[in-house]
Chains A and B, each alone.
Chain A
Amino acid sequence: MAQAAGTVEARPRGAAAAFDRPLLLTPRENLAGYLGSHLGRAALFLVTATSVVAVLLIFVFIIREAVAFFVNPAALPPLDWTSTGSAFAWARAALSFIVARLAELLAGTQWYPEAASPEFGALAILVGSLYVTGGALLIAVPVGLLGAVCLSDILPFGARQAVKPVVEILAAIPSVAYGFFAVLVLAPWMQEHLHLSTGTNALNAAIILAVMAIPTIVSVSEDSLTAAGRELREASYACGATRAETMVQVVIPAAHSGIIAAVILGMMRAIGETMVVWMASGNAAQIPSPWWDLTQSVRTMTATIAGEMGETVQGSDHYRALFAIGLLLLAFTFVLNLITEHFLHRVRRAGGTSP
């Protein structure tokens, strides 16, 4: 290319700059520049890769401790590589131990980790997380979706500019402030006015988590509803549909990927929330007795980790059990994240902006 540039004959007369050098240099001619640009790109890439490294480290460190909960070298028979019989026995013992631990963790309802004979049945805790998240979504999805509809289609521009900061501020309030409100204001109110025996229960936590999840649902849904485009709406109106029918039968189905992503993001927010449930859900590791009774205390995974981590000694069974629960949480949110990304990818492909 240098030769090609060098053969350009036309030299502008009177030009101030004498272009006697070619405009593009080969790597050989400008080694410093070549190396600089490529090394620079590599450096940038490495820096960007720290987020990958961080995620890997998170997984590695949590899996390391969690796996130690399921594997107990002391309980295995001695391994003799040479004899297949002993190897089989060892493998069978290891596998059965892992399966037993997993079954206990996922299906047992007795969580007494510090008792003389510890039991690590986390089913009640998992169910508690489910109740609180489910309750929160039950409240947050309709309100959030309708709010998004209002923001995208019903409110005039000025009102929209006024409402968006309200939603953003709701999202920005720290979770400990919500927890404070839940335990000092909402719990006594519920006890007094709803005549419940206890104000710190699943309902309390669910309401507050719904308030925390609504901004996420509103903003992501609103983005995807707006991304559906004016043409779709105008076509529907042209066919004589009312606004309700347009929204429900045309726009929302068109934006369904974004809305599903919004709901899942809201769910992730609710599941991962710690302070509110630790302060306001009562922390009783039980499955509520008529299953629909949300006014009983429950305990969630996050509250268990936050509450019990301090008392464990590093390397003890309890410590590892908490990491195992943390791993469950991490795996669950990771899978939800992947699903969200898939749906958002579809939104992006359809021409909308990513939130």
Chain B
Amino acid sequence: MEARRIAVVAGLVAGATLAAWAAFAVASEASKQTLQIEGSTTVGPIAEAFAEAFMKANPNVQITVKMTGSGDGAAALIDGRCQIATMSRFMKPAEYQKAVEKNVTPCPHAVAMDGVCAVVHPSNPLKAITRVQLRDIYAGKITNWKDLGGPDMPIVVISRDTSSGTYEVFAEKVMGKDKMSEKVEYVNSNPQAHARIKTTAGAIGYVGLGFLDASVKALTVDGVAPSRKTIATGVYPISRPLFFFTNGYPELGSTLHSLCTFFLTEKGQEIIEAKGFVPLTNY
């Protein structure tokens, strides 16, 4: 009985000390600096590789990365939930307006170049497509591959969801004013689009350049094949820069500034190239 009572009291005292310590530590927890990066699933792998290289060089900085879509990144930056928004498209005027309302001034840093590639399953005999045909497929006017000279299979149309920058670029440069048909299947990320097309014989979709590999086939759009050369020179019709957005230009010399200028270093450009994107400079 006595031992138990002593144990209870000791436990309470320990708990109280712990609670006090916790409160103190929470109040003064500036020892480790955290940076939150949110946004595109296209630029996400670059941000993640940067974060890893950066954290190895600076152990007292902690960086967390979330990849759910360019729109998510913009919203998070405007709401103040992240410090860097990775986006595979430029911010829309409506987003700028909302940002200004909340006293946020988004500042873009273009870190790499990318192309939105139209991909199909490797068993699809089609090799080339025009932008008009792409638009018609996504608007629902062409529904069978035989209308394009392919086999008699229904076209399974895959698109990224609306929070994606890849979707926005595709919509702007290919769809124009047309809306996508309701039958279009929406996936949440580049890897999921890639996985769907890899396993579905009749599928067509679009992914960033960094996601091309031997298990999907990239079509030439308007006669131009997506490659580093054609994208870097803008010849490929659906090319775009990839951005890091911050709230204003980061203070010179701060950790945020180092992270935002990491892409200018040789290592940064090497990482971008290793991930399959087009580096900005000829380092």
Is there a contact between chains A and B in the complex with CB atoms less than 8 Å apart? yes
Show the binding face of A for B, using Cβ within 8 Å.
Answer: 109-110, 112-115, 124, 188, 191, 197-200, 278, 282-286, 289, 296-297, 299, 307-308, 310-314, 316
Indicate if the CB atoms of A283 and B182 lie closer than 8 Å. no
User: Given A115-B179, A311-B163, A316-B98, A198–B75 Cβ distance below 8 Å?
Assistant: no
Indicate if the CB atoms of B72 and A311 lie closer than 8 Å. yes
Indicate if the CB atoms of A308 and B163 lie closer than 8 Å. yes
**By CB atoms of chain A within 10 A, which of B75, B98, B156, B187 has the most?**
B75
- A199, A278, A308: the one contacting B162 at CB < 8 Å is A308
Query: Nearest Cβ distance between residue A288 and chain B, in whole angstroms?
Result: 9
CB contacts (< 8 Å) of B179 on chain A: these are: 112, 115
> With the chains together, A104 CA to B68 CA distance in Å?
28
Asked if B103 is at the interface of the complex by the 8 Å CB criterion, the answer is no
User: Given A113-B162, A188-B199, A198-B200, A310–B182 Cβ distance below 8 Å?
Assistant: no
User: Given A191-B200, A312-B75, A284–B163 Cβ distance below 8 Å?
Assistant: no
Could you give 10 example pairs across A and B, Cβ below 8 Å?
A: A109-B182, A110-B182, A113-B162, A114-B162, A115-B179, A278-B188, A310-B71, A310-B75, A310-B76, A313-B78
The 10 closest A-B pairs by CB, nearest first: A311-B71, A311-B163, A310-B72, A286-B182, A283-B186, A313-B75, A114-B162, A282-B185, A311-B72, A297-B185
**In the complex, which residue of chain B has the Cβ closest to the Cβ of A112?**
B179
CB contacts (< 8 Å) of B202 on chain A: these are: 197
Indicate if the CB atoms of B98 and A313 lie closer than 8 Å. yes
Q: A296-B183, A307-B163 are in contact. List 13 more A-B contacts (CB 8 A).
A: A114-B162, A191-B199, A197-B154, A197-B202, A198-B196, A198-B200, A200-B185, A308-B163, A310-B72, A312-B71, A313-B74, A313-B75, A313-B78
Query: Nearest Cβ distance between residue B154 and chain A, in whole angstroms?
Result: 6
> With the chains together, A164 CA to B186 CA distance in Å?
39
CB contacts (< 8 Å) of B72 on chain A: these are: 310-311
CB contacts (< 8 Å) of B196 on chain A: these are: 198, 200
**In the complex, which residue of chain B has the Cβ closest to the Cβ of A285?**
B182
Query: Nearest Cβ distance between residue B152 and chain A, in whole angstroms?
Result: 12
Give a binary string over B142-164; 1 marks a CB under 8 Å from any A CB, 0 the rest. Answer: 00000000000110100001110
Indicate if the CB atoms of B79 and A310 lie closer than 8 Å. no
CB contacts (< 8 Å) of A278 on chain B: these are: 188
- A113, A115, A284, A289: the one contacting B186 at CB < 8 Å is A284
> With the chains together, A313 CA to B196 CA distance in Å?
30
Give a binary string over B177-193; 1 marks a CB under 8 Å from any A CB, 0 the rest. Answer: 00100111111100000
CB contacts (< 8 Å) of A286 on chain B: these are: 182-183
CB contacts (< 8 Å) of B76 on chain A: these are: 310
**In the complex, which residue of chain A has the Cβ closest to the Cβ of B183?**
A286
Indicate if the CB atoms of A310 and B95 lie closer than 8 Å. no
Indicate if the CB atoms of A283 and B161 lie closer than 8 Å. yes
CB contacts (< 8 Å) of B75 on chain A: these are: 310-314
CB contacts (< 8 Å) of B108 on chain A: these are: none
Indicate if the CB atoms of A284 and B161 lie closer than 8 Å. no
**In the complex, which residue of chain A has the Cβ closest to the Cβ of B158?**
A198
Indicate if the CB atoms of A308 and B161 lie closer than 8 Å. yes
> With the chains together, A322 CA to B163 CA distance in Å?
14
**By CB atoms of chain B within 10 A, which of A278, A311, A314 has the most?**
A311
CB contacts (< 8 Å) of A113 on chain B: these are: 162
Indicate if the CB atoms of B79 and A314 lie closer than 8 Å. yes
Asked if B106 is at the interface of the complex by the 8 Å CB criterion, the answer is no
Query: Nearest Cβ distance between residue B265 and chain A, in whole angstroms?
Result: 31
> With the chains together, A297 CA to B74 CA distance in Å?
29
CB contacts (< 8 Å) of A296 on chain B: these are: 183
- A197, A299, A310: the one contacting B163 at CB < 8 Å is A310
- B70, B154, B185: the one contacting A283 at CB < 8 Å is B185
- A110, A124, A307, A316: the one contacting B161 at CB < 8 Å is A307
Asked if B237 is at the interface of the complex by the 8 Å CB criterion, the answer is no
**By CB atoms of chain B within 10 A, which of A113, A124, A198, A313 has the most?**
A313
Asked if B69 is at the interface of the complex by the 8 Å CB criterion, the answer is yes
Indicate if the CB atoms of B162 and A311 lie closer than 8 Å. yes
CB contacts (< 8 Å) of A314 on chain B: these are: 75, 79
CB contacts (< 8 Å) of B188 on chain A: these are: 278, 283, 307
Indicate if the CB atoms of A313 and B79 lie closer than 8 Å. yes
CB contacts (< 8 Å) of A199 on chain B: these are: 199-200
Indicate if the CB atoms of A284 and B185 lie closer than 8 Å. yes
**In the complex, which residue of chain A has the Cβ closest to the Cβ of B182?**
A286
Query: Nearest Cβ distance between residue B70 and chain A, in whole angstroms?
Result: 8
Indicate if the CB atoms of A310 and B156 lie closer than 8 Å. no
CB contacts (< 8 Å) of A307 on chain B: these are: 161, 163, 186, 188
**In the complex, which residue of chain B has the Cβ closest to the Cβ of A319?**
B75
CB contacts (< 8 Å) of A198 on chain B: these are: 156, 185, 196, 200, 203
**In the complex, which residue of chain B has the Cβ closest to the Cβ of A113?**
B162
User: Given A115-B179, A197-B202, A286-B182, A310–B69 Cβ distance below 8 Å?
Assistant: yes
> With the chains together, A200 CA to B195 CA distance in Å?
12
Query: Nearest Cβ distance between residue A291 and chain B, in whole angstroms?
Result: 14
> With the chains together, A314 CA to B74 CA distance in Å?
11
CB contacts (< 8 Å) of A109 on chain B: these are: 182
Query: Nearest Cβ distance between residue A337 and chain B, in whole angstroms?
Result: 30
> With the chains together, A289 CA to B143 CA distance in Å?
14
Query: Nearest Cβ distance between residue A304 and chain B, in whole angstroms?
Result: 10
CB contacts (< 8 Å) of A124 on chain B: these are: 182
**In the complex, which residue of chain B has the Cβ closest to the Cβ of A281?**
B185
**In the complex, which residue of chain A has the Cβ closest to the Cβ of B171?**
A115
> With the chains together, A307 CA to B71 CA distance in Å?
11
Indicate if the CB atoms of A197 and B200 lie closer than 8 Å. yes
> With the chains together, A308 CA to B186 CA distance in Å?
12
